[in-house]
């Protein structure tokens, strides 16, 4: 698996545009409204979450399964497949990829229980069908199994996980001192060689070229790119928890297909800072037990290296990242738009950032979602059986078409 996001298949092939997503859903939108199609994303993500919990999977393989599911339906239509079989296959493959494998019979048995709670009868409870679907899934996602999640970006940004743990025997200051000492020794050696080769007195007039030294820009990139494990800013534990929950919720949106993981992590932090500041809590607070380094240590380390001090506030912290602000705020908007729709679809008193349902428009519930999936598949089969009448007029409701 690739350790560099920018050279991974995730970055090269699975960061899509909104136009590509819309084109992939044109067939489904013949049989469902955009609002209903959006709610289906929430419905299927919730099913994956429930199935993953019953299989005792961690959040990472569950998130990977959701991404596989979204990637599959970026190239297929819900109305032309069995989404419940695809859903179970995504869980099965993600568990193996994330090194927490579960037996195929366990996946089938637990899927029957989860789907039975929602009165879903389309799932074929046969391990052979699930094993066959695994190969179709891998083929349709082009065997691109690498998924970078925002969780690690979040904990690294907040200093909860040292980026250099177990890999670097020296601190940044010690490493920088060694590099400067070696550069000085190399320069002195080149100067001595020039004096030995040239005529007397000529070495003083001949400039010695710096062949092995690094420039200031290269030095800063080396030091900052290595990671200090100290964190750029001390983030309150409550804000970090809110950001973590927001990332969990983001998998019910198109964010995993539209934005790199660090953009989603920063968007989650922005939402967390907004919520904590509006509730009267400071984004910067006392150090928590999980904080890897303190602000004082970061200031001292940066001062010893001649680097600027870490930011002192949330606004300065977010502005310190070299990211496109329109892209960041577009991601924030995509995530925040989820909550009123989700609250109307699946009301919950504990959901972060929730807004009360307005009660406008037709009510759409998980029971309606299951019925909609069945109707979409049935209507698509009718249209495929009668291609001359396929997609005949938006003014004719799908439920009034003749079926054979």
Q: Six-digit token pair at 190?
A: 């080149």
Indicate if 154-162+229-345 has the same CATH topology as 5-147.
Answer: yes
Average pLDDT in the chain: 80
pLDDT tens column, 26-76 = 999 999 999 999 999 999 999 999 999 999 999 999 999 999 999 999 999
CATH 1.10.1760 corresponds to the domain 154-162+229-345: no
What's the whole-number mean pLDDT along residues 236-246? 91
Tokens read off for 132: 């066959």
How far CA 219 is from CA of 129, 176, 228, in Å, comes to 56, 8, 14
Residue ranges per structural domain of the chain: 5-147, 154-162+229-345, 172-226
The whole-number pLDDT of residue 51 equals 97
Binned at pLDDT 50, 70 and 90, residue 213 comes out as low
With cut-offs at 50, 70 and 90, classify the pLDDT of residue 292.
Answer: very low
Q: Is the pLDDT of residue 281 over 60?
A: no
The pLDDT of residue 220 is: 53
List helix spans (H) across 279-337.
295-305, 314-319, 325-336
Fold for 5-147, please state it: Cyclin A; domain 1 (1.10.472)
pTM above 0.85, yes or no: no
pLDDT band at 385 (very low <50, low <70, confident <90, very high): confident
The predicted pLDDT at position 173 comes to 67
* Residue 137 to residue 126: CA distance in whole angstroms: 17
For residue 371, what pLDDT is reported?
94
Over residues 152-160, mean pLDDT: 82
The mean pLDDT value for 136-147 works out to 95
Given 3-state DSSP classes, what are the helix, strand and coil percentages for the chain, each rounded to the nearest 5? Answer: 60, 0, 40
């Amino acid at each position: 698996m690739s350790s560099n996001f920018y050279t991974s298949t995730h970055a090269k092939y699975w960061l899509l545009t909104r136009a590509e997503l819309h084109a992939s859903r044109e067939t489904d939108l013949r049989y469902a409204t955009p609002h209903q199609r959006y709610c289906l994303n929430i419905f299927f993500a919730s099913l994956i979450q429930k199935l993953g919990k019953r299989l005792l999977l961690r959040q990472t393989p569950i998130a990977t399964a959701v991404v596989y599911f979204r990637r599959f339906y970026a190239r297929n239509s819900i109305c032309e497949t069995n989404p419940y079989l695809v859903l179970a296959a995504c869980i099965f493959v993600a568990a193996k990829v994330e090194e927490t494998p579960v037996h195929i019979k366990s996946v089938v048995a637990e899927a029957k229980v989860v789907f039975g709670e929602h009165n879903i009868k389309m799932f074929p409870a046969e391990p052979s069908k699930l094993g066959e679907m695994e190969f179709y899934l891998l083929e349709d996602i082009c065997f691109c199994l690498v998924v970078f999640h925002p969780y690690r970006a979040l904990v690294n940004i907040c200093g909860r996980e040292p980026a250099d743990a177990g890999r670097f025997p020296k601190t940044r200051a010690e490493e920088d001192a060694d590099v400067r000492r070696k550069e000085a020794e190399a320069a002195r050696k080149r100067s001595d060689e020039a004096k030995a080769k040239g005529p007397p007195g000529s070495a003083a007039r001949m400039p010695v070229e710096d062949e092995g030294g690094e420039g200031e820009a290269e030095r800063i990139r080396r030091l900052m790119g290595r990671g200090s494990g100290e964190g750029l800013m001390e983030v309150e534990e409550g804000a970090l928890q809110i950001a973590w929950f927001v990332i969990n919720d983001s998998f019910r949106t198109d964010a995993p297909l539209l934005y790199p993981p660090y953009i989603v992590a920063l968007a989650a932090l922005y939402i967390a800072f907004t919520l904590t500041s509006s509730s009267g809590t400071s984004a910067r607070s006392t150090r928590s037990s999980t904080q890897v380094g303190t602000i004082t240590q970061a200031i001292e380390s940066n001062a010893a290296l001649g680097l600027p001090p870490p930011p002192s506030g949330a606004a300065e912290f977010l502005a310190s990242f070299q990211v496109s602000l329109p892209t960041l705020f577009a991601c924030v908007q995509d995530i925040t738009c989820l909550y009123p729709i989700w609250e109307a679809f699946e009301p919950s008193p504990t959901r972060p950032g929730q807004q009360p349902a307005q009660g406008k428009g037709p009510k759409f519930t998980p029971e309606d979602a299951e019925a909609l999936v069945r109707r979409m598949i049935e209507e698509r089969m009718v249209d495929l059986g009668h291609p001359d009448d396929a997609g005949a007029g938006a003014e004719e409701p799908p439920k009034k078409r003749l079926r054979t």
